[in-house]
Each structure stands twice: as structure tokens, then as C-alpha cells.
Structure 1
Amino acid sequence: MKKLLLIEANGMAGGDLLDAAQELGVEVYVATHEELYCHYRHELKEKITGTIFVDLGSIETAVRDLLSFAREQGVDGVVTGWEFFSPLVTRLAAGLGLPAHDPEKAGGARNKRVMAEVFEAAGVPAPRTVVVASAAEAPVVVARAGFEYPVVVKPCENAGSVGVSVVKREEDLAAAVDFAQGWPSEFPHGTPLETTVVIQEYIGGKEFSIETVVFEEKFHHLAITEKFTTTDATRAEVGHTVPAALDSAAREAILTTVEQGLTALGFRYGVAHTELKLLPDNTARIIEVGARPPGDHIVKLVQQATGVSEARAYIQAALGEQPDVLPAHNRAAAIRFFTPPSAGVFRSIENLPEGPATVATAIYVEPGKELAQPQDNISRIGHVILTADSTAEVNRLADEALAAVRIGVA
């Protein structure tokens, strides 16, 4: 029986990966913190063969301890569903002689500063980017680069739209940089994050993500996902639909650009989640790439829409086996997130969608919980997943569902 090392199971993709491993007959060992494992749901724990408690707050310590553990157990593949540990997975797999991305380029798929440098050197279409270490230097650096406002300000190493701002005038730039530097470590493992900040030219157009399985440096694109985001100063993601409604020219432009980016970043085995903007002239710009499954339950959307399990394909690729990527059907699926109208105490949520198109609903908070001002993906309080025969139909159902929901905040 094959053995898999999963770096942190307690994320959106963790359950999907454990389910897929069980279906494949693969034993799973999980690396996490002991205090986090204590809070794992029972249904997660029962699918885990064994655990190793390791200090993920120190990547060098984690590499050393996990290499030793994996060799002792005879691990055949390494994966993660957790954004922050994709470079760790690449280093471990390469160190074990297992299928891996290029370990020399592992940081480029996690650190936005490094990613921008790789893209510029390789000529990959992406936003022009500058890097600052402090708020004081930001206006000078932006002016020297010749950027026009608005600009996008991001932490180098955070995720989930945390710390991201769209800045429309120079007077607001310093505050946005301070905001982006407000998270010096990852939660809940305490992994230190680089605190330099990237500032990018604003790219208009429509936003998409591309879900790709990579095997032997060949790219198998499972889906192009349409992304829905807020349009204020922050950029929280409020929903996704699979597949995006695109003509053949737009699809070709998107996928050609994605493959340029993945090649430059050294993708060889595993999965890629690429976020991208498509401009009106059918040219594309890569915003960022992750060497891990998509969050926000997009794995479930892809499976509902195509019948392909991205989690299963990821595990197969990590084990060096030909991944199952052929679609079984052609439908559409959507997720929409419930966010509070304002900060305050959560009281209630009413008129949740029901009926045959509703795959699942979830509420994350209990009445009485204090809610912060909604400004990023962490502000969500729940979601609904819907399915239909077409993209147009599932988007209509999603719009109707969100319009009907009532969220009470006092």
C-alpha cells in the first residue's frame, strides 16, 4: 500500500485529500501541531493512518524532522492543502527523490516578490511590480516606477486576500502598506512571513482562476473558474463559478498564459491554482500562482461540474502515477459566500436556499459571535454550493439565493 505525507489536513482541501486517498487505498500520515490536531474533527482523524507533530513555525526544523520521518515510514508522495506549505512540500519531495516541482524555484510559487521576479525574467505576462520595505518609501518607489493610480498593495507572503488593498490616490498609500505588514506570521502555525510589500499596477478586466494538474511537466487544465470579488478598497472573493463562460479565443489566451507562468515557476508534478485577469483585447495577465489545490471549495465545484476529482489527481501525480483527468460530464457549479453587512454581533441568517439545485449550505458562526468589518475572505460567515446544467443557469440561481438571504447583525 502506498504511503502519503500530508502537510496539515485541517484546511478546506484537507478533507478532500483524505477522502481521495481513502478511495485510492493510500495510507495518509499528517504533519501538524499537536494542539491543532486536538481540534481535528473525528471524521478527519479516522481517515488518518498516523501523525507527526512538528514545529511548522520553523521551516528548517520541519524539513529536517519530516525528511527523517518520511524515510522511516517509506513515504511515496508529499502533498498539502495549505497555502503556506507548498515550498515545504517541494523541498521534502525533492529531498526524498519523489515526484516534485523544481526545488530551486519552490519559493516563486508562494512569495509574490519572488514570483514577480521570475515572471519578469521569463517574460510572463503579469502586472508590473515594485517592492517596498516600509510605508515611508512607498510613494517615492511608485513614482519612480511611473505607476498610475490605482495600484494594488499586497503582503509578499500572506493569502486569502488578507492585507490586500486597491489604492486610488497617493495619500492612502502609506496606510495600505502598513495594513499589508500587519501579519508578520501565519496563523495558526506561527510560520514567519516576509514583511516586505509588493505594489503592482492595477489590471482591469475579468478575473478567473485556472485549476491544473501537472504530471511529467505536462499541463492538464481541469477548469477555468470565474471569480467574483468585492469592488471597494479591498478585494475579498465572494464567489466562484465553474466553468467560466468563455469563447475559444479567450480560453486559448488564458491557458497559453497560464502555461507560460507554470513553466517559468518550474512546475513538474502536482497541481496549480492560477489567478489571472483577462483584458478586453483577449490578452491575459497572471496575478499569482499557488502550488496547491484551490481553496474556497473549488475542488468540489470542479467535481460537480466535470466529475473529475482534483484531489485524487493531485495524489496520483505526487505518487508518480498517471492522474485521472478525463471529464465524466459537462455541468456547472457555483459557490457564493455569505458576508455580514457590517461589523457587529451576529444574530441570525434566514432564507437559506433549498431545493434540488442546492448541493450544500454551511454557516461558520454561532449567534452571539462578534463579527469584524468585512474586508477579506476571513470575514465570511457561510456559503452555499449550487449546481445546474449550464453556467448561465447556475449563476442565475446563485444571484437569486444571495438576494433572498437575510443576515442579522446588531
Structure 2
Amino acid sequence: MKKLLLIEANGMVGGDLLDAARELGVEVHVATHEELYRDYRPELKEKIDGTVFTDLGNTETAVRDLLNFAREQGVDGVVTGWEFFSPLVTRLAGELGLPGHDPEKASAARNKRVMAQVFEAAGVPAPRTAVVATAAEAPGAVEWAGFEYPVVVKPCENAGSVGVSVVRSEEELAAAVEFAQGWPNEFPHGTPLETTVLIQEYIGGKEFSIETVVFEEKYHHLAITEKFTTDDATRAEVGHTVPAALDDAATEAVLATVEQGLAALGFRHGVAHTELKLLEDNTARIIEVGARPPGDHIVKLVQQATGVSEARAYIQAALGEHPDVLPTHRCAAAIRFLTPPSAGVFRAVENLPEGPATVATAVYVEPGKELARPQDNISRIGHFVLTADTAEEVNRLAADALAAVRIELA
């Protein structure tokens, strides 16, 4: 029986990876913090064959502990569902001689500052980027780069749209940089995050993500996902649809651009989640790439729409086995997230969708919880998932369902 090291199972994709490993007959050992493991849900613990505890907030300690463990146990592959640990996975796989991405470019697939440098050097279509360490540097950086407003300000190492702002004037710039620097450590593991800030040219167009399995440096694109975001000063993601309704020319442009980015970042074995903008002239610009499965239940949307389990394919690629990537059917699936209309005390959600098109509904918060003003993906209070024959149909159903939902605040 092959052995898999999963770095942190307690995330949105952790259960999917554990289920896929069980189906494949793979033994799974989970690396996490001991105190976090105590709070794992019982149904999650039941799927785990073994654990190794280390300090994931200290990269060198984690590398030492996990290398020793992997060698003692004879681990055959390393994966993660937690974005912050993708460089650790790449580094461990390289040290152990296991399938993975280019270890020399491990940080470039997580740190957006390094990623921007790699893209510029390789000529990958991406937003022009300036980097600042303080708010005082920002106006000069914008002028030096020749950017026009609006610009995008974002932390170089955070995730989930946290700290991201669209800035429309110089007067807003300092506050946006300070906002981006407001999370110096990842939660809950305490991993230190680089606090330099990216200022990027604003790219218009429509936003998509591409879910890719990489095996022996060959790219298997499972789906192009249409992304729905807020359009105010922040850019929280409020929904996704698989597949995106794109014509052949647009699809070709998107995938060609993705492959440029993955080649530049040294993707070899594993998965990639690429976020990009498609412009009206059918040219694309990569916003960022993650060396991990997508969050936001996109793994489930892809499986609902195509029959392909990205979690299963990821594990297979990490073990050096040819991944199962052929679709078994074609339909469409959509998720829409519920966010409060304002700050307030949560009371209830009413009129969640029901019926044959509804795959799942969820509410995350209990009545009486104090909710902050929504500004990022952490502000969500629930979601629903729908399915239909086509993207156009499922988007229409989702829009009707959202219009009917009522969120009550005190």
C-alpha cells in the first residue's frame, strides 16, 4: 500500500483528499499542529491513518521533522489542500526525490512578488507590478511605474482576497497599503507572511480560473471556471460556475496563456489553480497561480460537471501514477456564496433554494453572531450549489435563487 503525506487536512479540500485516498487504497498520514488536531471533526479523524505533529509556522522546523518522518515511513507522495503550504510540499518532494514541481521555483508559485518577477522575465502575460514596503513609498512607485488609476493593491503572500483593494486615487493609496499589511501571520498555524505589498495595473475584462492536473509536465485542463466577484473597492469572490460559457477562440487563448505561466513556474507533477482575466480582444492576463487544488468547493463543482475527481487526480500525480482525467459526462454546476448586506447581528437566512436543481445548501453561522461589514471571502455566511444542463441555465437559476434569498440582521 502506498503512503501519502497530507500537509494539513482541516481545510476546504482536506476531506476530498482523504476520501480520494481511501478510494485509491492509499494510506494517509497528516501533518498538522497537535493542538489543531485535537479540534478536528471526528468524521475527519476517522479517515486519517496516522499523524505527524510539527510547527508549520516555522518552515525549517517543519522541513526537518517532515523529512525525517517521510523517510522513516517510506512516504511515496506529498500533497496539500492548504495554499500556504504549497512551497513546503514542493520542497519536501524535491528533497525526497518524489514527483513534484521544480523545487527551485517553489516560492514563485505562492509569493506573488516572486511570481511577478518570474512572469516578467519569461514574458508571461500578467499585470505590470510595483512592490512597496511602506505606505510612504506607494505614490512614488505608482508614478515610477507609469500606472493610471485605478490600481490594485494586494499583499504578496495572503489568500482568499484578504487585504486586496481597488484604489481609484492617490488619496486612497496609503490606507490600502496599510490594509494589505494587516495580516502578518497566516491563521491558524502562525506561518509568518511577507508584508511587502504589490501595486498592480488594473486589468479589466472577465475573471476565470483554470483547474489543471499536471503529470510529467503535461497539462490536463479539467475545467475553466467562471468567477463572480464584488465590484466595489474590494474583490471578494461571490460565486463560481463550471464550466465557463466560452467559445473555442476564447478557450484557446485562455489555455495557451495558462500553459505559459505553468511552464515559467516549473510545474511538473501535481495540480494548478490559475486565476486570470480575459479581455475583449481575446487576450488573457494571468493574475496569479496556486500550486494546490482550488478552494470554494470548486473541486466539487468540477466533479459534478465532469465526473472527474481533481482530488483523486492530484494524489495520483503526486504518487507518479497517470491521473484519471477523462470526463464521464458534461453538465454545469454553480456555487453562490451568501454574505450579509451590512454589519449587524445575524438572525436567519430564508428562502434558500430547494428542488431537483439544488445539490447542497449550507449556513455557517449561528443566530446571534455579530457580523462585520463584508469585505473579503471570510465574510461569507453560507452558500448553495445548483446544477443544470448548461452554464447559461445554471447561471440563470443561481441569479433567481440569490434574488429570493433573505438574510435577516438585527
Q: TM-score range by the shorter chain?
A: over 0.9
The answer as to 2:111 corresponding to 1:111 is yes
Please, what is the CA RMSD of the aligned residues? 0.4
**1:376-395 residue pairs with structure 2 within 5 A?**
376-395=376-395
Match of 1:364 in 2: 364
Match of 1:184 in 2: 184
State the SS of the aligned residue for 1:137.
helix
Q: Percent identity?
A: 86
**1:251-290 residue pairs with structure 2 within 5 A?**
251-290=251-290
Q: Give, in whole Å, the separation in 2 of the partners of 1:191 and 1:54.
A: 12
Give 1:251 deviation, angstroms. 0.2
Q: Give, in whole Å, the separation in 1 of the partners of 2:246 and 2:178.
A: 38
Match of 1:99 in 2: 99
Q: Give, in whole Å, the separation in 2 of the partners of 1:95 and 1:357.
A: 47
Give 1:43 deviation, angstroms. 1.2
TM-score, normalised with respect to structure 2 = 1.00
Residues 12-49 of structure 1: per-residue CA shift (max 9 Å, x gap): 11010000000000010000111111111111100000
Residues 343-363 of structure 1: per-residue CA shift (max 9 Å, x gap): 111111111111111111111
**AA matched with 1:366:** E
Structure 1 outlier segments of 4+, above 3 Å: none
State the SS of the aligned residue for 1:90.
helix
State the SS of the aligned residue for 2:106.
helix
Residues 235-267 of structure 1: per-residue CA shift (max 9 Å, x gap): 000000000000000000000000000000000
**AA matched with 1:161:** S
State the SS of the aligned residue for 1:31.
strand
**AA matched with 2:250:** A
**1:286-301 residue pairs with structure 2 within 5 A?**
286-301=286-301
For structure 1, the residue ranges without an aligned partner over 5 or more in a row are none
**AA matched with 1:173:** L
Match of 2:68 in 1: 68
**AA matched with 1:380:** R
State the SS of the aligned residue for 1:16.
helix
TM-score, normalised with respect to structure 1 = 1.00
**AA matched with 1:138:** A
State the SS of the aligned residue for 2:51.
strand
**AA matched with 1:350:** E
**1:4-403 residue pairs with structure 2 within 5 A?**
4-403=4-403
Q: Give, in whole Å, the separation in 1 of the partners of 2:3 and 2:183.
A: 35
Q: How many residues align?
A: 410
**AA matched with 2:140:** V
Give 1:323 deviation, angstroms. 0.1
Q: Give, in whole Å, the separation in 1 of the partners of 2:78 and 2:371.
A: 37
Residues 91-139 of structure 1: per-residue CA shift (max 9 Å, x gap): 0011111001000000001000000000000000000000000000100
State the SS of the aligned residue for 1:192.
coil
Residues 193-227 of structure 1: per-residue CA shift (max 9 Å, x gap): 00000000000000000000000000000000000
Q: Give, in whole Å, the separation in 2 of the partners of 1:387 and 1:71.
A: 44
Deviates more, 1:33-42 or 1:267-276: 33-42
Q: Give, in whole Å, the separation in 1 of the partners of 2:369 and 2:59.
A: 34
